[in-house]
Amino acid sequence: MTTALAFVFVFGLLTIFHELGHFLMAKRLGILVEEFGVGFGPQLLSRRWGETRYSLRLFPLGGFVRMLGEEEEAVPSERSFRCQPVRNRLLVIGAGPLMNFVLAVLLFAVIFFVVGVPAKEAKIGGVIPGGPAAQAGLKAGDKIISIDGRPVHSWEEVVALVSRRAGQETVIRVERGKSTLTFHLVPRAADASGRGVIGIQRVMRRHNPFISLYWGVRQTLGTTVFILVRLGQMIMQQAPADVAGPLGIVQAVGEVARTGFLNLLSLAALLSINLGLFNLFPIPLLDGGQLVVIGWEGLRGEPLGPEREGFLKLIGVILLLAILALATYQDLLRLGV
């Protein structure tokens, strides 16, 4: 039940924010939004506010925005989506993926405000009970000044030196108050890679909401760049095609949900960035595909005919099914099925 509720929460949050982007931009540009729906399937609740109907559907997965003339239009109207200039249609379509990045910024900002931002200094923020550091006598607040005689000035240097010394006696010197103390310990292997750890946590600096928002932007930008670089490596066959489909996402959400709500928010932020990027792919039926078609229409000065538009949608369906099949295959391999 925890996995199901967590998945509904994460997936619902991501898709509703995405659709909210389309909705708000359409409203801002004067396009008639006929319905904003939460979920899919049979309608449970419905109420009209102003000119828009807001509905709640049976299956709480995602949502949708129905604009006048988005699919087909019998009578042209100046408030129809199809009758809007190219610029307005591009803004409405692009606002969906943009809101996924905004959501990631907000989620990261909440995490940084509650937990804090990792400090760069080589100072111990916490000691894990039963670990090598705790057994040796290291305490929170100790500032590490050297490891095996090598001076350290940042947390990254501490991690780099300790990770190489799994199973080897290591000498760590720290400053505690006005004293300098020396400790002898043996890092243990954290996983199959043999990376050494001693059971210490870095200092987290909490900031006000505005500074946390700044760090949320930085984290979102850094994560986006990392994903794009990783994607480029997979395309160039410099890295394995490690993709997750619905099964993998459900499994990841369930596992993370059991570790705490803030960790679930962190995963939601990561998935929101992935969803925003995926929707920008130039594949028909996705927002990126619509942006290409609308942009091409602006260059040609005339819209695509119904036959060409239908053909592009068919290609989009085939490509999306192929991507889904590949991702599901990867999920099954991961699960050992």
Most confident of 56-60, 62-66, 90-94: 90-94
Whether 94 and 137 share a structural domain? no
Question: pLDDT digit string (tens) for 114-161?
Answer: 988 888 899 999 999 999 999 999 999 999 999 999 999 999 999 999
Which tens digit of pLDDT belongs to each residue from 19-48? 999 999 999 999 999 999 988 888 889 999
Q: Is the pLDDT of residue 179 over 60?
A: yes
pLDDT at 236: 78
**Crossing angle for the helix pair 246-257 and 2-28, to the nearest 10 degrees:** 110
Whole-angstrom Cα distance, residue 215 to residue 112? 7
Options 19, 35, 51, 72, the catalytic residue = 19
Do residues 136 and 188 share a domain?
A: yes
Task: Write out the DSSP string of 115-132.
Answer: T-EEP-SSBEEEE-TTSH
> Has residue 45 been placed in a domain?
no
**Could you give the 3-state DSSP secondary structure of residue 175?**
strand
- Is 302 a residue of the active site? no
Please tell me whether residues 195 and 103 are part of one structural domain: no
- How many domains does the chain divide into? 2
Q: What are the C-alpha distances in Å from 336 to residues 191, 328, 329?
A: 20, 12, 11
> Is 103 found in the same domain as 138?
no
Q: How far apart are CA 110 and CA 212, in angstroms?
A: 7
Whether 203 shows a pLDDT value over 60: the answer reads yes
Specify the range with the lowest mean pLDDT, choosing from 90-99, 160-169, 253-262: 253-262
Residue 78 is predicted with a pLDDT of 85
Average confidence score pLDDT of the chain: 87
One domain, residues 192 and 124 = yes
74 pLDDT more than 70 = no
Q: What angle do CA 54, 101, 65 make, to 5 degrees?
A: 20
pLDDT at 329 over 80: no
Are residue 111 and residue 6 in the same domain, yes or no?
yes
Look at residue 331 in the predicted model and tell me its pLDDT: 64
**Inside any domain, residue 255:** yes
Specify whether 331 is located in the same domain as 291. Answer: yes
Q: 210-214 contacts: CB < 8 A, separation 24 or more?
A: 212/109, 212/110, 212/112, 212/113, 212/117, 213/105, 213/106, 213/109
> Mean pLDDT across the stretch 232-242?
73
Residue 75 or residue 163, greater confidence:
163
Domain residue limits at 302: 2-29+84-115+231-335
pLDDT range class, residue 240, cuts 50, 70, 90: low
Is the Cβ–Cβ distance between 11 and 30 less than 8 Å?
Answer: no
Cβ proximity of 267 and 253 under 8 Å: yes
Whether the pLDDT of residue 337 is over 60: the answer is no
Read off the pLDDT of each residue in 262-284 and give the average, rounded to a whole number: 91
Residue predicted with more confidence, 149 or 193: 149
| Rounded Cα gap, residues 105 and 108, in angstroms | 5
The amino acid present at 56, given as its one-letter code, is: L
- At 65, the pLDDT band (50, 70, 90 cuts) reads very high
CATH number of the domain to which 161 belongs: 2.30.42.10
Residue 128: what pLDDT? 92
275: its two tokens? 């969803």
Closest CA to 11 of 226, 254, 272: 272
Instruction: For residue 36, tell me if it sits in a domain.
Output: no
Structural domain includes residue 319: yes
- Residue type at position 336: G
Residues 91 and 130 in one domain: no
Cβ atoms of residues 312 and 305 within 8 Å = no
Taking residue 302's Cβ as centre, other Cβ atoms within 10 Å add up to: 7
DSSP structural state of residue 241: -
Neighbouring CB atoms inside 10 A of 201's CB total: 14
Residue bearing tokens 């400790």 = 183
